[in-house]
Chains A and B, each alone.
Chain A
Amino acid sequence: MTAVSGAIRFVLNGEAISLTDVPPDLTLLDWLRLERRLRGSKEGCAEGDCGACTVLVGRLMDDEIIYDSVTACIRFVGSLHGTHVVTIEHLRGENGNLHPVQQAMVDHHGSQCGFCTPGFVMSLYGLWMRNPEPSQSAIEKALQGNLCRCTGYAPIIRAAQAMSSYGLPQGDPLLAERIALKAQIKAIHDGSRVEIGEGENRIIVPASLDDFAAVYESNPEATIVAGSTDVGLWVTKFMRRIGPVIFIGHLQELKRIAENASEIRFYAGVSYSEAMPTLTAAFPAMAELWDRIAGEQVRNMGTIGGNIANGSPIGDTPPPFIALGAKLHLRRGEHRREIKLEDYFLAYGKQDRQPGEFVESVTIPLLPAGERFAVYKISKRREEDISALCGAFRVFINDAGVVGMARIAFGGMAATPKRAKAVEAALVGQPWTLESVEAAMAAFAADYQPISDMRASADYRLLSAQNLLKRFFLETTGQGQRLRREVA
């Protein structure tokens, strides 16, 4: 029997916190600002898009505390068990002076109105810890989730480029306290399940994956929260009651990545950031897409399992995974089953998931030799934007130059992520030539009747989907030209 404890325990800056009465929908930002009266972190949007509330959350990983930037506005307090939360109030330099990151920002005129600034400072601090002398592209990537409306970013980028001249991570005044902190955090991870509250207010932080499976089987009405990048908005924007909640973001077993010669298995709790190295090593074509999914904070929080499980028609992981022939592993209690990923999406808002059942992992077959694969995302703003459409293409061209196999899948074109079976059929058996490709482009209209909305018109979606097939053809035949942002 799993031991049960009755408190969410973590460290806030330098202080040990133990909470026995926390509503499941209490956000970290509200808790910081309203209860702790730490008001350096700001609310700009309450949906994880502007970054004004950015804080760092440290978690134990292979005996080290790893710090991720996260948006406190959509992170729930119940998910913080066993972590170290670092807010702008904790940042300081030696002798109470400004921290090197802060001083660089001041000296380079990196703030104007200042409202977004604490969030920028925290994102830059997270970057500086890992990479004190970042390239411009690394800076841009770290700041993808931070909006500034005043400066035009130029002085912030200059400040980031100068950070290392103000100090290096080994001299970080906050480094010393981490050694003691590690023991404190470790002690929290005592193998017990946390349960607090009752009914709609119940929070369950399972002790292990098996514990989660058991708890969810017996509480199928509960909301599962991993990264909260989707569920967070149910609360902050739609004021939905989400309790009881099972928080699973901390489960190490769900963060496993298993690779063998033929496939990669991502467990559901692997975040976009955590998946990046393995995924892009196996599928270089996925690198650009991955960089363009959300901002850094959301990539640190959001999980592959969550992106699939909630069945959004505009999630960016299903199209490439479907094109690659991914299998989804579902689990209910001790019962497991495996389905094709594409079969999971039944209709808008409806997935093949039974009460008490959850997405445990997804397996992605590696690309067989000779096959070609690409994925393209189109959005109004190039980065940190939800896809207008996202298309993945995979073909095998045989020695005769004929299409032996084609798998094409799109998001943003239908009520679910969906294969373009008519296009596939139009291609298979045809020579891989511009003529066949142009002929097959017409078949998109049979596969998809996209909608017009604030992201794009139906006409644009259809036209650009067709053109992406052309792009794929051109790239596989060495005639490709792709837009690139040229920065150092």
Chain B
Amino acid sequence: MDPKPQTAIALSSLHVGTRHDSGPKHVTGTAEYIDDLVEPAGTMHAYLGLSTNPHAEIAGMDFSATLAAPGVIGVLTAADVPGDNDVSSNHSHDEPLFPVDKVHFWGQPLFAVIAETRELARRAAHLAKIDYRPLPFVTHVRAAQAAGGTLVTPPLKLERGDMAAGMAGAPRRVKGSMEIGGQDHFYLEGQIAIAVPGEDEDVTVYSSTQHPTEVQVMVAQVLGIRQHAVTVNVRRMGGGFGGKETQSNLFAAVAALAAKKWNRACKLRPDRDDDMTATGKRHDFVVDYDVGYDESGKIHAVDAVYGARAGFSSDLSGPVTDRALFHADNAYWYPAVRVRSEPLYTNTVSNTAFRGFGGPQGMLAAERWIEDIAYSLGKDPLEIRKANFYGTDSNNITPYHQEVTDNIIHRVVDELEASADYQARRAAIVKYNAGSPILKKGIALTPVKFGISFTATWYNQAGALVHVYKDGSIHLSHGGTEMGQGLYIKVAQVLADAFGVGLDTVKIMATSTGKVPNTSATAASSGTDLNGMAAFDAARQIKERMTAHAAKLHNVAEADVRWVPGGVECGDKFVGFAELAASAYLNRVQLSAAGFYQTPKIHWDRATGRGRPFYYYAYGASVSEVTIDTLTGEYTVDRVDILHDVGHSLNPAIDTGQIEGGFVQGLGWLTTEELVWDDKGQLRTKAPSTYKIPLASDVPPIFNVRLAEWSVNTEPTIGRSKAVGEPPFMLAMSVMEALSMAVASVADYAIAPRLNTPITPERVLMGVQRLAREHKQA
């Protein structure tokens, strides 16, 4: 039986804009998400009962009406947990699956109803009667600080240089604070899990998660069984953005608990409102700062405190607030710096990972004081930015004592400034504003420097499992998950390139803890860096064995076996890849390998605040132009130009998609996406009717996105590429700064507008009013 002949082998499948592997399935509706899978016969449905009090003792829970409702199989509470009643991702035991005596936020899952259908479970969940004894609660950062500032996890301090001398030597000082809003992930596919019970203690879980291993660990922990009994499978997510890094744990654990208790499969999918109410979001921050600088705009010293709404438990708030501090510098060198975090306990849902992971908030505050300095000196903020950029050979030590050795921000900014015609447009805008009474324009260029690696150093590892079958077809598994970012296709490109075969030879398998163990979350933009390298390592091992086999078979030295597209050349004889695989099998050569990768060079000592937490940095810059309406505060984003560094791109089409998508998501964060808690502690923006992510008509009509094609990673990453998931998100900061300029125009650019985010039309109008008033008084 001849193997299918290989056709159309590209010279290289790397660095090519290959389409997303699931594209045809996406557009035909045949790509399967968990709610689309065929349910095992007798599948039960779970629905969560949520707290309607932000902080209270649970005086009683009455399920009599719930249990009497049609189709109800049972109710699960903390009492039903055979193992550990805890789903805290960091094992700090501060996040129960179901609370025992106290609720800590409005929307906290209290119990689950299991019924024959989802609708019956949902209706019955609302029949439970919960008796609360209310306790005082805080929902906002300032209120939490005022109430004593309880922290959910130890804070971090980064310090470098002589703060006292720096401040004393600075001719000018600015103090201020900035409120930075949070953000809901609004993944289109909500949280969901199905658990299927197996024999003995086994359970198989299909979870929409970025972190299959953690789901496995949590399910095992809750069930009180060993991890080898739990298999977690993830084919794809309908979006993640960090919202499925730890937040999937509870849903999977509840489904598994029910599945084992009743020995039937169980599915759990909350309604959108419940999903948004019960799952963590991007942290809101209040940053209090004190900055010393001089007349040239050079910063001498920065002293800042980053208060964050962590919610009721620690979750990832430690690493998130750490990363905010790691990005307190953005692309700027501070001669003296002291930054401290306050991950504050609040009676809100426990905040979590979200694209950028605290970095955006840290960087936004940096841009705030740049703006303060610029307006106080009457200069273009871009001038202040440039004056403070990290140097390449000097002035290049970060607040965490890592040397910046790969700095390309100057070139990125200079090229963008020219290609976007920044100076001429800014001059034209200043002129336009002078003659335009109602509409005002603004323009801004902001830089991005983002550190790549998990700051939890042990997370920087990955595994892959590659099989070559006798017909030469290849089976690829790795520990990364696909949430739309194109990880699967990129790793497949790496593998196809390594073997010299066409992409159609590589079958991309769903991620499974049974294939690759002990995986890291697909997060921190690291998916391709880590898993691509692991797959490459697996290919290397198999190729070495096939090379040895080919040498033996054709009686040449191993050095004379050359891998070429489609197969190998042994001296002057060509052997097709499939033929080689078949003969390797017959000669008892192992055609399967587990690949592994650990990021080199990195280390981090949190106690001293020193180390090299990042393997390298990704850079970028954007220019945004906006128009505001000074009567209503409404605005349009008119033009955006982006130049972004992805190193030597593995897939320019996928990378461009990440940049466009990341920018627009950042745009939403800074403009229309507003989280509002009412005075009862209830989140009021919990569905797309009230929580407004960008639309197609919010995308700038002129949107020029370019990759810095000349950039090559100085570190030997896979194909010398750079991570792309998170960094582009922060490109949207230029929109905030452009809005600021437009608002500042009503006060002749003499007052820093200091807009808090999100900059809704309301904030623009109130800013315009305030500046006009202050300008009149001055």
Contacts and interface: CB of A to CB of B under 8 A. Distances in A.
Interface of A: 30, 33, 39-47, 49-50, 52, 87-89, 91, 98, 101-103, 105-107, 109-118, 121, 136, 139-141, 143-144, 146-157, 236-237, 239, 376, 378, 380-386, 388, 453-457, 459-460, 463-464, 467-468, 470-471, 474, 479-487
Interface string B631-674: 11111101000000000000001101100111111000000101
Nearest to B186: A149
A381 B188 contact: no
A111 B27 contact: yes
A460 B696 contact: no
A140 B685 contact: no
A470 B273 CA distance: 39
A98 B23 CA distance: 11
A396 B97 CA distance: 65
B693 A144 contact: no
Contacts of B20: 109, 111-112, 114
Ordered nearest first, which 7 A-B pairs have the shortest CB separation? Answer: A40-B29, A113-B484, A115-B238, A114-B26, A152-B664, A112-B484, A49-B688
Contacts of A154: 660, 664, 699, 703, 705
Given A115-B239, A483-B627, A153 B35 contact: no
Contacts of B484: 111-114, 150
Contacts of B189: 42, 44, 113, 115
Nearest to A488: B701
A464 B692 contact: no
B696 A49 contact: no
Contacts of A471: 438, 631-632
A237 B126 CA distance: 12
Contacts, number: 270
Contact of B439 (A39, A105, A481): A481
A115 B33 contact: yes
A239 B126 contact: yes
17 contacts: A40-B29, A44-B188, A44-B688, A50-B688, A102-B27, A109-B656, A112-B657, A117-B31, A121-B27, A136-B701, A150-B661, A380-B672, A454-B676, A464-B631, A467-B631, A479-B437, A483-B628
A106 B632 contact: no
B689 interface: yes
B765 interface: yes
B340 to A, nearest CB: 32
A354 B661 CA distance: 51
Contact of B660 (A98, A141, A155, A382): A155
B187 interface: yes
B93 interface: no
Contacts of B760: 380
Given A114-B236, A454-B690, A456-B762, A143 B634 contact: no
Nearest to B672: A381
Contacts of A470: 631
Contacts of B638: 486
Contacts of B685: 454
A289 to B, nearest CB: 14
Contact of B238 (A101, A113, A481): A113
Nearest to A376: B632
B689 A148 contact: no
Contacts of A481: 436-439, 629
A42 B238 CA distance: 10
A124 B692 CA distance: 22
A384 B273 CA distance: 18
B271 A46 contact: yes
A239 B439 CA distance: 45
Interface in B181-233: 185-190
B485 interface: yes
A157 B438 contact: no
A315 to B, nearest CB: 14
Contacts of A151: 657, 660-661, 664
B24 A98 contact: yes
B324 interface: no
B549 interface: no
A483 B439 contact: yes
Interface residues of B, number: 91
Contact of B632 (A30, A98, A105, A468): A468
A91 B437 CA distance: 51
Contacts of A102: 24, 27-28
Given A140-B697, A143-B696, A147-B188, A117 B27 contact: yes
A137 B703 CA distance: 15
Chain A contact surface mostly? loop
Contacts of A485: 636, 697, 701
Interface string B260-292: 000000000001110000000000000000000
Contact of B31 (A44, A114, A237): A114
B27 A47 contact: no
A42 B26 CA distance: 11
A408 to B, nearest CB: 16
Contacts of B338: none
B634 A140 contact: no
B697 A383 contact: yes
Given A113-B238, A378-B632, A382-B634, A454 B188 contact: no
B74 interface: no
Contact of B701 (A41, A143, A464, A486): A486
Contacts of B485: 112, 150
A109 B653 contact: yes
A105 B239 CA distance: 18
Given A40-B28, A112-B20, A47 B688 contact: yes
Interface in B728-778: 760-762, 765-766, 769
Contact of A384 (B27, B239, B272, B695): B695
A107 B19 contact: yes
A117 B271 contact: no
Contacts of A39: 29, 32, 35-36
Given A39-B29, A109-B657, 17 more contacts: A109-B656, A113-B238, A114-B22, A114-B31, A115-B188, A115-B239, A118-B26, A152-B660, A153-B699, A155-B660, A237-B687, A380-B692, A383-B697, A483-B634, A484-B636, A486-B638, A487-B701
A149 B27 contact: no
A106 to B, nearest CB: 4
B695 A143 contact: yes
Q: Which of B439, B660, B665 has the most CB of A within 10 A?
A: B660
B695 A460 contact: no
B688 A153 contact: no
B29 A467 contact: no
B168 to A, nearest CB: 42
B619 interface: no
Contacts of B185: 149
Given A44-B189, A47-B687, A149-B186, A113 B239 contact: yes
A146 B674 contact: no
A94 B762 CA distance: 51
A467 B632 contact: yes
Nearest to B241: A149
A45 B271 CA distance: 7
Nearest to B677: A454
Contacts of B437: 479, 481
A115 B208 CA distance: 12
Contact of A453 (B33, B119, B684, B705): B684
B379 to A, nearest CB: 28
A163 B678 CA distance: 45
Nearest to A464: B632
Contacts of B438: 471, 474, 480-481
A92 to B, nearest CB: 8
B486 interface: yes
B3 to A, nearest CB: 26
B55 interface: no
Contacts of B273: 237
B25 interface: yes
Contacts of A45: 272, 687-689
